[in-house]
Structures are given as C-alpha cells and as structure tokens.
Amino acid sequence: MLKFNQIRVAGRLNGASGQVNGGEFVHVLGTNGSGKSSLLSAIAGLLPIEQGQVWLEQKKLQDYSLPQLAALRCLQEQQQNSAFALTVAEVLYFFSEDKGLPAELDEALELQQFMSKPLNQLSGGEARRVHIARTLLQVWPTIQQGRALVLLDEPNQGLDFKHQHLLFRLLRRLCLTGNVVIVNHHDLNLCQQYADKIWLMQAGQIVISISSLEQISNHDLAAIFACSIQSAVDATGNKIFQTYLD
C-alpha cells in the first residue's frame, strides 16, 4: 500500500526507505531528532521532499490532488493547539460533518462525557483523545473500506495507561480490516505488544526494520536509544523492557 525510497529533506531525513503492506501496524522508534516526525510529515505529503519518491496505492504521492489525499490519509501531529472555545462536539462535527461519533471510536476514546465541554478546558490527555478522534474521522469512510493510511505522531503522549491500551487496541483493529497505521512513540513495551513492523530510526534513516523486538539484542537497542536496556519475561510469557542510565 505504501512505499518510499531514499527520501531526503535537508537536516531532517537522510535517505529513508521503507514499505508497508495493507493491514500492517507499524511502530517507529528512535531518539528525539532522529527523524520520526519528519518521516510521517513527508509520507503524508505535508513536508516537501528534496529527493526520493513516495508511492501510495502504487501511485506517486504528488499525482494525488489535495482533496484526494485528505480522503485517503490522515496525520495527527505531535503539537495540537486549542485556541478557540469550541466544544468537543463542534470540533468533531467540523471534521466529520456528522453529529454522531462512531461506536468504535466512542468505546476506545471515551469522549461522550466531554462532548459539551470546550476543547480548551480539557486536560492534556483528554484533549489528545479528541484530536485522535477528529484525525480518524477525517478519513473514516476510507477506514471503513480498509484503504486508509493513518499516521499518528506520539498519540499516546499524555494518555493514562488504560487509554494507551484502548487506543492501541483500536488501531490494531483498524489494521485487521486492511488499513495501514503508522505511529511514532518511545515505549518499547507497547511496541512489543502491538506492532506488526518496527522501524528504528537514527540520523534521518530507518536503520533497522523488524517484525518483533525479539529479533534485536538489548545491546543493539541500547545503541539506538543511547541508554542501557534490560528485558525480562513476566509470568504470562510477555517480554518487558526497562531502561536506565549507567
């Protein structure tokens, strides 16, 4: 569904290449400044690339009109401002032209209690859930067809443990119907639980592409993240990670 080859943006991306098939849940990990956010923006067509190419459904990204792209892919950026005192319901209606919230989104994001509240009066985590909903609503008809490309930049930032898992379970279900979801974040344990594919980034490149953290040593992970990493297996057989400085 998605392919990009040797995309370059001065000071941000340095020949990043990758491919994603329909139905894959991709997690992008790396240190701050490694190029994760720039990669999502370039894939979305919002960051002009100086070299390389991006294909979406076997069509070059630049051959899509803006309305076509807006219906096919969505991007939730890391920084979200809520300057206007619009209610949550008004914000969601603006992006969906539908007064109702799909049951699947309502179940995972638990927004009904906020619908009449101004967005700029919510906590950071509550507002994050609203922004995730409005991002998904932008392409909801395409999501229902199993053809959407969903790009989320640190969507779990500010969410409590419960809502992190509810969100990633939702994204996992969206992939099961053929959609592609790519998320940036910094949590090895969430990655281990939910990822189909993992991209590890350094200096604007995807330096490692794997399907599980079982395929990389803790030593190599530590080199990527510039800190010490140890893992253990819990009572249910799940691998868990701990990070620390020497």
| Cα separation, 183 vs 25, whole angstroms | 8
* Mean pLDDT across 1-22: 95
Tell me the Cα Rg of the chain. 18
What confidence category does residue 237 fall into, taking pLDDT thresholds of 50, 70 and 90? confident
* Mean pLDDT across 69-77: 95
Percentage of the residues of the chain whose pLDDT score is greater than 90: 80
Q: Report the amino acid identity of residue 144.
A: Q
Confidence (pLDDT) at 84: 66
* DSSP per-residue codes, 189-227: HHHHHH-SEEEEEETTEEEEEES-GGGS-HHHHHHHHTS
Could you read off the pLDDT of 76-105 as tens digits, one per residue?
A: 998 766 656 788 988 888 877 666 789 999
| Cα separation, 43 vs 37, whole angstroms | 10
Order across the sheet with 180-184: list the strands: 73-76, 149-153, 180-184, 25-29, 197-202, 205-210
Could you read off the pLDDT of 157-194 as tens digits, one per residue?
A: 999 999 999 999 999 999 999 999 999 999 999 999 99
Give the CA diameter of the chain. 53
> For residues 178 and 22, is the Cβ–Cβ distance under 8 A?
yes
| Cα separation, 68 vs 76, whole angstroms | 18
